[in-house]
C-alpha cells in the first residue's frame, strides 16, 4: 500500500482535463519526481498536459517555489565591499541567441558602480552559444567555484561569472532533461519556472531578463516572447525579486562574431571603449536596467566603458578565476570566406543560419558531453543595412577541421538576402520593456 499523499495518475488527469492543481499537489509532484516516486513516463505525460492546457499564475508560482525548495538557496544579504558597505546584487539572464556575448562586458560594467553581479551561467547547446564555453577559451580560466570563493570574489571585485552548483534547484535539472527528449521544452510555464527557479534560488536582489525574439532565439515570434517575459517578471515579483524584462531582436546575430574565443575578443573590444554598436547599445541598456533595479541612480555605464573602469574589473574578475586576461586567445587553424553574390543592401543575415554554421564548424555541441573548439565560429564583415558589392567578403568561417566547411556553408543557404539599394531592413534592437 502506497503511503504517498497523492496519486500521479490523478494529477495527470486533472491537468489533462484543464483543471487547476492545488498548492499541495504541486509541492508533492515536484518532491515525488525528484526522489523517484513519480516515473519519467508519468512526468512526461504531465508535462505534455501542461504544454497543451497551460497553468495559471498561482500554479506557475507554486511550481517554481517547489523547484526552488528542492535544493539550496544562496544568500548575499551579508555581502560587503572592501570598505565594509553592504553591496546590493543584480543579475541578468538571456534566453539565448547567436553572438550573444553580452554577459562578458556587462558583469564587470555593473560592478563598477558598487553592485555585485553573481552571474551563474551555462554552456551552449545546439546553435545557441554558452557563456562558460566562451570564457573557457581564456587560458587558465575556470568555471567551477565554491560558494565561499564566489562570495570572496564578489566582495573583492564585485563580479563573478561561473557555473551553477548542483545544489541549486536539482528538480529543474531532472525535469529539463526529460522535457528535452519528450517534445515539451516549449511549454511556457515550464520554461519560465525552469529559468526563474534557478535565478531566485541564486539569491539575487534584482534581475533583468533579456528575452530574445526571432529566428536565432528560442521564441520565434513576439507574442510568445512577450508571454514568456510577462510570466517570468510575475514570478520574480511574486518571489520578492525586483524583475524587469527587455524583448530584444535576435533575427540577426549580435555583433560581428559567433563562436567562443572570437566572442571574447569582441567583448574585450567593447570593454576597451570600441566594439560593434549593437553590442555596446544592449550592454549599456541592460546595465542601466540592472543598476536602476539595484537602487543605483545617476550612473553612466557608457562612460565606464569609455574610460577603462569596466576593463579594470574584467581583468580582476578573470584573474580571480585563474585566467590570464592578457594571454593570446586560441585561433582556428583553417578559414574560408563567404562572398557577396550581388550588389545592393544586405537586408537579412539570418541568426539561425549563422548560429547553425558556427555550431557545425565546432563552436557548439549537439550533446552536453561534446567538446567545443575554442577558435571555431563565424566572423561577419557586414550587417543588415550595409551596402555591399558583388565579390565582397561577407563572412569568414573558422575551424580546426576543414571537412566541416561544407556543412557550415549548407547552413548559410538562404541566410543572406541582398536587395536593391534604398532598402531599409528593420534594425530595432530593443523591441519593448516589460515591468511588473
> Which residues are marked as active site?
93, 172, 179, 194, 198
Please give, one letter per residue, the 3-state secondary structure of 56-124: CHHHHHHHHHHHHCCCCCCCCCCCECCCCCECCEEEEEECCCCCCCCHHHHHHHHHCCCCEEEEEECCC
Measured CA to CA in angstroms, residue 43 lies from 29, 30, 49 at distances of: 9, 9, 10
Place of cell 561577419: 380
CA quadruple 263, 268, 271, 274: dihedral sign: negative
Q: CB–CB of 209/200 below 8 Å?
A: no
Among residues 261, 175, 186, the alpha carbon closest in space to that of 217 is found at 186
CA quadruple 286, 287, 288, 289: dihedral sign: positive
Q: CB–CB of 259/376 below 8 Å?
A: yes
SS3 state at 288: helix
Cα–Cα distance between 187 and 102 in angstroms, integer? 26
Q: How many CA atoms, within 13 angstroms, populate the side-chain half-sphere of residue 369?
A: 0
Among residues 101, 115, 30, 82, the alpha carbon closest in space to that of 304 is found at 115
End-to-end, the C-alpha distance of the chain in Å comes to: 47
SS3 state at 395: strand
Cα–Cα distance between 362 and 374 in angstroms, integer? 8
Amino acid at each position: 500500500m502506497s503511503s504517498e499523499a497523492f496519486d500521479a495518475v490523478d494529477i495527470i488527469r486533472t491537468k489533462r482535463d484543464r483543471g487547476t492543481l492545488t498548492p499541495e499537489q504541486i509541492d508533492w509532484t515536484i518532491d515525488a519526481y525528484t526522489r523517484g516516486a513519480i516515473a519519467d513516463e508519468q512526468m512526461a505525460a504531465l508535462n505534455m498536459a501542461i504544454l497543451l492546457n497551460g497553468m495559471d499564475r498561482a500554479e506557475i508560482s507554486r511550481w517554481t517555489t517547489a523547484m526552488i525548495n528542492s535544493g539550496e538557496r544562496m544568500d548575499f544579504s551579508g555581502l560587503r565591499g572592501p570598505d565594509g558597505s553592504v553591496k546590493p546584487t543584480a543579475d541578468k539572464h538571456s534566453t539565448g541567441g547567436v553572438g550573444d556575448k553580452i554577459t562578458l562586458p556587462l558583469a564587470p560594467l555593473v560592478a563598477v558602480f558598487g553592485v555585485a553581479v553573481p552571474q551563474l551561467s551555462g554552456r551552449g547547446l545546439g546553435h545557441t552559444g554558452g557563456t562558460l564555453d566562451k570564457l573557457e577559451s581564456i587560458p587558465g580560466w575556470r568555471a567551477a567555484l565554491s560558494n565561499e570563493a564566489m562570495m570572496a570574489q564578489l566582495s573583492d571585485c564585485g563580479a563573478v561569472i561561473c557555473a551553477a552548483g548542483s545544489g541549486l534547484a536539482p528538480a529543474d535539472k531532472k525535469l529539463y532533461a526529460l522535457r528535452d527528449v519528450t517534445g515539451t521544452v516549449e511549454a511556457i510555464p515550464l520554461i519560465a519556472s525552469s529559468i526563474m527557479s534557478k535565478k531566485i534560488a541564486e539569491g539575487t536582489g534584482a534581475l533583468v531578463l533579456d528575452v530574445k525574439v526571432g529566428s536565432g532565439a528560442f521564441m520565434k515570434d513576439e507574442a510568445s516572447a512577450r508571454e514568456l517575459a510577462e510570466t517570468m517578471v510575475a514570478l520574480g515579483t511574486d518571489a520578492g525579486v525586483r524583475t524587469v524584462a527587455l524583448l530584444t531582436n535576435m533575427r540577426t546575430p549580435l555583433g560581428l562574431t559567433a563562436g567562443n574565443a572570437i566572442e571574447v575578443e569582441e567583448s574585450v573590444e567593447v570593454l576597451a571603449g570600441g566594439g560593434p554598436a549593437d553590442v555596446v547599445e544592449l550592454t549599456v541598456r541592460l546595465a542601466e536596467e540592472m543598476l536602476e533595479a539595484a537602487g543605483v541612480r545617476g550612473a553612466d555605464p557608457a562612460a565606464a566603458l569609455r574610460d577603462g573602469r569596466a576593463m579594470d574589473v574584467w581583468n580582476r574578475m578573470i584573474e580571480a578565476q585563474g585566467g590570464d586576461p592578457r594571454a593570446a586567445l586560441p585561433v582556428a587553424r583553417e578559414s574560408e570566406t563567404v562572398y557577396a553574390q550581388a550588389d545592393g543592401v544586405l537586408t537579412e543575415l539570418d541568426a539561425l543560419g549563422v548560429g547553425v554554421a558556427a555550431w557545425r564548424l565546432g563552436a557548439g555541441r549537439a550533446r552536453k558531453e561534446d567538446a567545443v573548439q575554442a577558435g571555431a565560429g563565424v566572423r561577419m564583415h557586414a550587417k543588415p543595412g550595409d551596402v555591399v558589392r558583388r565579390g565582397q567578403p561577407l563572412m569568414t568561417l573558422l575551424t580546426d577541421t576543414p571537412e566541416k566547411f561544407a556543412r557550415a556553408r549548407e547552413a548559410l543557404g538562404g541566410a543572406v538576402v541582398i536587395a536593391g539599394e534604398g532598402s531599409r531592413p528593420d534594425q530595432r534592437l530593443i523591441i519593448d520593456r516589460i515591468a511588473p
